[in-house]
Amino acid sequence: MKMNQDGSLDAMFRYEGTTCTNMGRPLTFNYHVKLGTRAEGYPVLEQCCVPAEGDTGHTAMCQYLENPSALMAAIDLEKPLNGDRLNAVLSWQRNPSAAGCYCERSSRDHKWGLVLETIHYALAQEEIMQDTGTQ
């Protein structure tokens, strides 16, 4: 994570998985999340999810093969918890999905949950160390 001069944070997350069909082709997506300040409760200000540079695995997903522009538009437009405080991820009810691909909304929500929960955990640990003065 990178703290900006205004106290906001930029976090990057890299997801590596496989397609569910086509013999499990590897795919990699990059996530970027911009959060507001700690004093504001870390509101989610920006979210972005895109295939990593050089990734070709996403082109083997069944929904991509069926309608590439619709799938990529859905991935681009979905920004769960945007505008909410990061703590909202702890009570966010989403359908369980362990699929490695991005074809279904539940799979995409699952991955966004992993991203936001990981960021939440890292910030909580950092706050504990700051507040207690431990390293």
**What is the average per-residue pLDDT within 17-37?**
91
Would you list the domain boundaries of the chain?
Answer: 2-132
Q: For residue 7, which amino acid is it?
A: G
The span from the CA of 102 to the CA of 58, in Å, is 8
In this prediction, residues 49-53 reach a mean pLDDT of 97
For the full predicted model, state whether its pTM sits above 0.85. yes
Residues composing the chain: 135
More confident residue, 95 or 31: 31
Give pLDDT tens digits for 71-80.
999 999 999 9
For the chain, what is the mean pLDDT? 92
